[in-house]
Structures are given as structure tokens and as C-alpha cells.
């Protein structure tokens, strides 16, 4: 199968023109539309008012993005964003440690190609050779009214063609007050119902973790690039504790309940990368990653009468994981003057070992192997660009104790047609597809009791699911307004979703390959320069219509979501306001929503320092939850957190000497280790 892609000629790279003219300074446009991405060039004011890569990204005001430095998140239209540095997949912490002066441009890819293996969006930082030989960056940002905050530091040292980098961070969330509002109605096969309502008696949230890293880069321009890095993340405490009073409509007395769940563990990762250039514009790139996880997940759920005489329900689940993940990817790239051939193969291996202490120490082993092949050919003919590409993935997984498992082949075609009316206006029609493999939690057959009525059991017979998306997008650049609007259609005909059914008086929560999810989204993402070099606004708004079908149900959902950002910069001060209205997702028989967040932040730059203060959730009420629409379980939950937190921050950034660039890693194998999840309401 061959996929044909037709795109218009790429616009001129105005930054390159600026470098060629040397003595003539030409300000690059904020956005350059290309056939497969948008290029954002940092302005001088954006660089001057940033002390790290995340702050610079925030100052670029990319309309679809929601960058919340205080919470350590980067999202687009409510979905995750794959972040890369010179093509190498990177973490939020690695982006934060970038020097703003070294970022040449930011590539925003809202229809990633086959090499990105199903990413929703890709954000790629192109970093040039710094003019300094060492740097020390550090920042601390504690809250003033609760035990919350983060701090980090990163040191770079250079010698010849080599660069060493060492750093670490620490994030604290301790005893953050929370409340839960929960109502549920069970409908039994015989038709009778049971309604339970909870009144919160208080709760708390803990999420404290730290990470350290050390990296080595060797760069011999146009010949060899080598990178090796080790990082280790440790979760000290990730717990949710809740106490409530539950009333039941069957005439029984009110019930005191306690619901405590959490996890902790250590996740070390090794990454090694080699890029070798050959004659005639040929390149071979190889990336290897290995990731381990040692940790535990627990859930304790208890129900007892108010008089305290015995427990009606007492569930204790403890899962200890010792899991491994390995991945290796190799790409061959051949460039001609107006064309390019890329072919690659990736192999992933996951080996999971879970001990269920609540089941008498029962041990479960899961093996999962995946192989992915792809090839793309790029050809430019005058004002037309052609690309043909196809990918294929083989997935195989098995439970050792039972011999249960499955395997499948899935094709991954991709296509796009882009027409550049001129540098300021562009139309793009793109089609993409990807696969979602079953997770450890979705396939593990070990039974987990959730409460006095419900149990969770994985399904080892589910298959890898396919997803397809078609997007029509119009991008524009006007004197003071830039942005895009369009329509997106998505379908996943065999999506892996939860399934509920009754068995022996228990409501079983398991998983199935459903009858499919379909949605249609209309979106608009503008950026407006209200006062030149002073006041800029950007945002993203979308309206989505969804239909989900599975065993015994067909459901519909309609909702608005989006974000708004306002940035005022003058005299070294930067005032930022950000608001995010979370998207509501229909998945299986559940509609879930994330956190609606607002942030106000004021910072001031002075020499190598930055001082700031702000508040999380100055307006609105924190709400994260879900609504179950199953015929067997109709319920609604709201999780409320005391998130109105003022904070201060101090950043320090100093540079010296002569520094070589970091490795320009263009692929990433992606060894993602699995973790278990203990049952919980």
C-alpha cells in the first residue's frame, strides 16, 4: 500500500535570510507556515524575558498550547504533547533546562508523521550552538499557604567536542486538602436498584517526587553525533486519602467509609544514541533505551457502621511491580537536492512481573513484544511536494501463568495535501492513523475488588486498536493576527474501552474492543498582538460532538473547551494570565473531565536573576471528575482540591566560556515501562 501526499512548496526560511544578510537586521515573522509544520521564531523580547526553555515557550504564545510552568504541564486541545529537542524526545525538565538564547526556533507539528508513532502533537525545539562554554540554571517556586512547590538545578560543562550535563529537581505536594462528591445507583439484572450517596468528611492529596540526570554529548559536525544519558525518577509519595459518610436507600444505617490509594517507586532510564553521516548525503541513526520500574501500588477501602462494630467491607490490595522495558530503533535517511527517503524499524519489549500480596503472594508475568516498520519518500517538484508513506506494526503479548494472550498485524497509512496560497495563508488536509496496544492493567487477569459490589478483572483477549483522523486546517498570518481554524474527524472502530457486567452478584469492570468511537471537532486558535511588543493574547476554542458504542450501549456527548492566555511585557516585567477549560471525554460509558485551571503570574528580570510571584486558581473552583452512564452503574464524582495557592519564585541563570551544542538526536526509541494500578473507586 502506498500513500500519496501533495503539498505546496515550502516558504522561505527568513531566519536563514537574516543570517546571510549579516549586517542587515530583518525581524523574522512570528509564524512561518510549512507544508507539515508551523515554525515559531522567538523575538528578542521573548528571549530577554525568559530564563529557561519553558518560559520561552510560554512567551511564544502558540495559540493551541497550554503551558503551565507552575504545574509542569504542556497540553494542546486537552491532549498530551510529545516534546523533542533537536528531534530527540525530551521531558518537561529537559525543556526547562534549555537556555533561551540557544533556541533558534520551535517547530509545531499538529499532524505528526509516521516516525512519531501516533503522537497527538509534536513540539520540537531547534537548538543552535551556544556562544558560552558553561551554564548554571536554577529555580525555586514554593507556595506560601501549603506544602507545595518545586525546585530544580542544571549544570552544563564543555570540553572540546564534548558536553557534560548534570541536574535534578524536586516536586513537593504534601497533605493538600481535598473533598469528594459522589453519588451512584446500581441497577441489578432483576431490575431492582441500590443508590448510595457520599458526604465528604475530608481528604488529602500527596504527590512528592524527585529526579536526577546526567548526560554526555559528543558532536563532530557533519560526521558523528553520540549521546548517552541516565536519569532516575523516584516517587516518594503519591497518595489520595478520603473519608466520607455514605447513606444507602435500602434502609440500612449510614456507613462510614475510608478510601485510601497510592503508589511509590523508582524508575531509572538509560538512553544511548548514535548518528553517523556517510557520503552522498546518507545518514544512519540508531537509538536504544532501557527503562526499569521498582515500586508498589495499593488501595485500602473500608466500610463500617457508625457504631464502629465491625467492618461491612474491608478490601486491601497491594501490588509490587518489577517491570522492564527495552526499545531499539534504526533509521536510514538519504537526501537529494529536492527529495528525501526515510526508512526505519523499531522493536519494543516489555517484561512485567507483578506480585499480589493480597492474593497470598501470587505472581503474574506478562510479556509484550512490538515491531514497527515504516518508509516515507519526499519529493519536491516546483511548487508541489509529494510524499508517499506506509507503516506496519506487529504486536504480541502473553501471560506466562495461563498461556493467554494475542497477536495482530496493523497497518498505519498516512497522507496529506497542503496548498500554500502564499507565505501568509495555507490550506492543509491531512489523514493519519495509529495503533493503541493493550496496557498491563487492561489485560492482567488478577481480580481486584473495588468495593462491596464491584470487581476489576483484565481481559487478555483484547486486540490492538486502530485510530484514524482526518483534519482540514486553514492557517493565516495578518499584520496583528495569526492563527488557524478548521475541522477534525476522528474514529477508532475497535477502541479498547471499559465494559461492565454482572456475575454471581458482583459488578465486573473489565475491558473490550468496543464498537467504536467517533467524534467531529471544530476549532479556532488565534494569536492577537494588541499592543506591539507589549500586550499579546492567544487562545484555543473547540466544539466537539462524540458518539461511543459498545456492548449494550450507544452514547452521545457535546461540549466546548479551550484555553486563553494574556501576556503583558514592559520594563522587565511580565504579567501573565492563563485560563484552561478542560475537555470532556466520552470513553466507554464514562464522560470524564480534567482540571479547570487559572494562573496569574508576575515576574521581573534583573541581570542573571528572575523574581516572581503568582497564584494558582485565583478564580473559579477546582473540579476533576466523571459521570458514569452505564445501565448497570449510573454515578457521578467530583474531586475538589484547595488549589487557591499563592507562590513566589526565584530563578538564577549564569553562563560562561565557550560551549558546544548538544546532540541533535533525530529519532527516539521510546522504552516506556508499564506499572500496575490497584483497584479504587
> What cell was used for 504?
454471581
Mean predicted confidence (pLDDT) in 43-62: 83
Q: What is the pLDDT of residues 286-316, one digit of tens each?
A: 999 999 999 999 999 998 887 766 788 899 9
Q: State what percent of residues in the chain have pLDDT above 70.
A: 90
Judged against a pLDDT cut of 70, whether residue 665 lies above it is answered with no
Q: What is the pLDDT of residue 556?
A: 97
* CA atoms of 461 and 301, how far apart (whole Å): 29
Higher pLDDT residue, 320 or 401?
320
Q: How far is CA 641 from the centre of its chain?
A: 22
Question: Where does the pLDDT of residue 542 fall: very low under 50, low under 70, confident under 90, or very high at 90 and above?
Answer: very high
Cell 512570528 -> residue: 30
Q: What is the pLDDT of residue 668?
A: 53
Q: What is the pLDDT of residue 2?
A: 31
Mean predicted confidence (pLDDT) in 59-75: 81
Q: What is the pLDDT of residue 121?
A: 84
> What cell was used for 390?
506506509
Whether residue 11 contacts residue 32, with contact meaning beta carbons closer than 8 Å, is answered with yes
Query: 556 exposed, middle or buried (CB, 10 Å; 0-12, 13-18, 19+)?
Result: exposed
Q: What is the pLDDT of residues 482-520, one digit of tens each?
A: 888 999 999 999 999 999 999 998 999 999 999 999 999
Question: Where does the pLDDT of residue 228 fall: very low under 50, low under 70, confident under 90, or very high at 90 and above?
Answer: very high
Q: What is the pLDDT of residue 4?
A: 32
- Characterize the bridge pairing of strands 122-127 and 147-159: unpaired
Judged against a pLDDT cut of 70, whether residue 438 lies above it is answered with yes
Mean predicted confidence (pLDDT) in 427-446: 86
Between 8-12, 162-166, 296-300, the lowest mean confidence (pLDDT) is in 8-12
Question: How is domain 4-656 classified at the architecture level of CATH?
Answer: Beta Barrel (2.40)
Question: Where does the pLDDT of residue 232 fall: very low under 50, low under 70, confident under 90, or very high at 90 and above?
Answer: very high
Judged against a pLDDT cut of 60, whether residue 479 lies above it is answered with yes
Q: What is the pLDDT of residues 264-291, one digit of tens each?
A: 999 999 999 898 999 989 999 999 999 9
Q: What is the pLDDT of residue 524?
A: 94
Q: State what percent of residues in the chain have pLDDT above 90.
A: 47
For residue 559, what is the enclosing H or E element? strand 553-570
Q: How far is CA 241 from CA 236, 300, 367, 472, in A?
A: 16, 10, 33, 45
* CA atoms of 19 and 17, how far apart (whole Å): 5
Q: What is the pLDDT of residue 480?
A: 86
- Characterize the bridge pairing of strands 415-422 and 4-8: parallel
> What cell was used for 90?
525530551
Question: Where does the pLDDT of residue 157 fall: very low under 50, low under 70, confident under 90, or very high at 90 and above?
Answer: confident
Following DSSP, what letter does each residue of 233-294 receive, concatenated? EEEEEEEEEEEEEEEETTSPPPEEEEEEEEEEEEEEEEEEEEEEEETTTEEEEEEEEEEEEE
Whether residue 459 contacts residue 512, with contact meaning beta carbons closer than 8 Å, is answered with yes
For residue 478, what is the enclosing H or E element? none
Q: What is the pLDDT of residue 674?
A: 62
Whether residue 586 contacts residue 546, with contact meaning beta carbons closer than 8 Å, is answered with yes
Judged against a pLDDT cut of 70, whether residue 667 lies above it is answered with no
Enumerate residues 6+ apart whose C-beta is below 8 A from 22: none
| Cβ burial 509-541 (10 Å sphere, 16+ → b, else e) | bbbbbbebbebebebbbbbbbeeeeeebbbbbb
Q: Dihedral sign, CA of 503, 508, 514, 515?
A: positive
Kindly report the length of the chain.
681
Mean predicted confidence (pLDDT) in 461-482: 90
Mean predicted confidence (pLDDT) in 314-322: 92
Q: What is the pLDDT of residues 345-367, one digit of tens each?
A: 999 999 999 999 988 898 999 99
Whether residue 620 contacts residue 581, with contact meaning beta carbons closer than 8 Å, is answered with no
Q: What is the pLDDT of residue 578?
A: 92
Q: What is the pLDDT of residues 79-134, one digit of tens each?
A: 788 888 877 778 888 888 888 888 888 988 877 767 777 677 888 888 765 545 78
Question: Where does the pLDDT of residue 669 fall: very low under 50, low under 70, confident under 90, or very high at 90 and above?
Answer: low
| Cβ burial 604-613 (10 Å sphere, 16+ → b, else e) | ebeeeebebe
Question: Where does the pLDDT of residue 19 fall: very low under 50, low under 70, confident under 90, or very high at 90 and above?
Answer: very low
Following DSSP, what letter does each residue of 338-358 receive, concatenated? SEEEEEEEEEEEEEEEEEEGG
> What cell was used for 143?
507556595
* CA atoms of 332 and 221, how far apart (whole Å): 18
Q: Where are the domains positioned within the chain? A: 4-656
pTM for this one? Answer: 0.79
Q: What is the mean pLDDT of the chain?
A: 85
**Widest pairwise Cα distance in the chain:** 85
Amino acid at each position: 500500500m502506498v500513500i500519496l501526499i501533495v503539498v505546496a512548496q515550502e516558504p522561505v526560511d527568513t531566519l536563514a535570510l537574516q543570517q546571510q544578510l549579516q549586517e542587515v537586521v530583518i525581524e523574522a515573522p512570528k509564524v512561518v507556515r510549512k507544508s507539515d509544520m508551523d515554525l515559531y521564531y522567538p523575538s528578542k523580547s521573548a528571549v530577554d524575558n525568559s530564563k529557561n526553555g519553558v518560559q520561552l515557550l510560554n512567551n511564544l504564545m502558540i495559540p493551541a498550547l497550554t503551558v503551565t510552568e507552575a504545574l509542569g504541564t504542556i497540553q494542546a486541545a486537552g491532549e498530551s504533547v510529545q516534546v523533542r529537542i533537536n528531534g530527540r524526545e525530551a521531558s518537561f525538565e529537559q525543556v526547562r533546562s534549555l537556555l533561551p538564547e540557544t533556541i533558534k526556533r520551535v517547530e509545531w507539528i499538529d499532524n505528526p508523521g509516521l516516525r512519531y508513532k501516533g503522537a497527538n502533537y509534536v513540539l520540537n525545539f531547534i537548538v543552535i550552538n551556544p556562544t558560552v562554554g558553561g551554564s548554571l540554571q536554577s529555580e525555586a517556586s514554593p507556595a506560601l499557604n501549603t506544602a507545595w512547590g518545586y525546585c530544580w538545578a542544571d549544570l552544563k560543562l564543555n570540553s572540546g567536542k564534548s558536553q557534560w550535563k548534570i541536574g535534578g529537581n524536586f516536586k513537593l505536594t504534601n497533605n493538600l486538602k481535598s473533598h469528594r462528591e459522589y453519588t451512584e445507583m446500581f441497577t441489578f439484572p432483576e431490575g431492582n436498584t441500590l443508590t448510595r450517596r457520599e458526604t465528604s468528611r475530608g481528604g488529602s492529596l500527596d504527590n512528592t517526587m524527585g529526579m536526577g540526570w546526567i548526560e554526555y554529548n559528543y558532536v563532530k559536525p557533519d560526521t558523528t553525533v553520540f549521546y548517552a544519558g541516565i536519569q532516575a525518577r523516584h516517587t516518594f509519595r503519591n497518595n489520595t486519602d478520603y473519608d466520607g459518610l455514605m447513606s444507602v436507600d435500602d434502609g440500612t444505617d449510614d456507613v462510614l467509609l475510608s478510601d485510601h490509594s497510592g503508589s511509590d517507586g523508582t524508575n531509572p532510564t538509560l538512553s544511548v544514541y548514535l548518528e553517523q553521516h556517510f557520503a552522498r548525503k546518507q545518514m544512519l541513526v540508531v537509538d536504544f533505551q532501557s527503562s526499569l520500574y521498582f515500586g508498589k501500588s495499593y488501595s485500602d477501602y473500608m466500610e463500617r457502621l457508625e457504631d464502629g462494630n465491625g467492618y461491612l467491607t474491608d478490601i486491601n490490595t497491594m501490588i509490587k511491580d518489577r517491570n522492564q522495558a527495552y526499545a531499539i530503533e534504526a533509521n536510514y535517511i538519504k537526501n537529494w537536492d529536492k527529495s528525501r527517503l526515510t526508512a526505519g524499524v523499531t522493536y519494543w519489549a516489555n517484561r512485567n512481573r507483578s506480585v499480589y500480596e493480597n492474593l497470598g503472594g501470587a505472581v503474574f508475568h506478562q510479556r509484550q513484544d512490538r515491531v514497527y516498520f515504516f518508509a516515507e519518500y519526499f519529493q519536491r517538484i516546483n511548487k508541489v511536494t509529494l510524499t508517499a508513506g506506509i507503516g506496519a506494526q506487529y504486536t504480541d503479548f502473553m501471560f506466562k501463568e495461563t498461556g493467554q494472550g494475542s497477536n495482530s498485524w496493523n497497518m498505519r497509512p498516512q497522507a496529506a495535501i497542503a496548498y500554500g496560497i502564499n507565505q501568509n495563508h495555507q490550506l492543509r488536509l491531512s489523514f493519519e492513523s495509529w495503533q493503541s496496544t493493550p496496557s498491563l492493567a487492561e489485560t492482567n487477569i488478577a481480580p481486584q475488588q473495588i468495593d462491596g459490589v464491584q470487581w476489576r478483572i483484565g481481559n487478555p483477549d483484547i486486540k490492538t486498536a486502530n485510530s484514524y483522523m482526518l483534519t482540514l486546517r486553514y492557517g493565516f498570518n495578518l499584520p496583528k493576527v495569526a492563527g488557524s481554524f478548521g475541522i477534525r474527524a476522528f474514529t477508532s472502530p475497535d477502541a479498547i474501552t471499559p465494559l461492565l457486567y454482572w456475575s454471581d452478584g458482583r459488578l465486573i469492570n473489565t475491558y473490550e474492543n468496543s464498537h467504536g468511537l467517533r467524534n467531529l471537532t471544530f476549532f479556532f486558535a488565534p494569536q492577537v498582538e494588541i499592543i506591539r511588543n507589549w500586550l499579546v493574547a492567544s487562545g484555543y476554542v473547540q466544539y466537539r460532538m462524540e458518539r461511543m458504542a459498545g456492548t449494550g450501549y450507544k452514547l452521545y456527548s457535546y461540549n466546548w473547551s479551550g484555553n486563553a492566555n494574556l501576556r503583558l511585557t514592559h520594563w522587565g516585567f511580565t504579567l501573565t494570565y492563563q485560563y484552561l477549560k478542560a475537555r470532556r471525554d466520552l470513553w466507554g460509558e464514562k464522560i470524564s473531565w480534567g482540571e479547570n485551571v487559572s494562573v496569574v503570574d508576575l515576574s521581573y528580570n534583573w541581570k542573571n536573576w528572575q523574581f516572581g510571584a503568582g497564584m494558582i486558581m485565583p478564580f473559579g473552583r477546582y473540579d476533576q471528575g466523571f459521570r458514569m452512564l452505564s445501565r448497570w452503574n449510573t454515578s457521578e464524582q467530583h474531586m475538589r482540591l484547595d488549589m487557591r495557592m499563592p507562590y513566589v519564585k526565584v530563578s538564577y541563570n549564569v553562563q560562561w566560556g565557550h560551549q558546544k551544542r548538544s546532540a541533535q538526536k533525530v529519532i527516539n526509541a521510546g522504552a516506556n515501562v508499564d506499572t500496575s494500578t490497584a483497584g479504587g473507586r
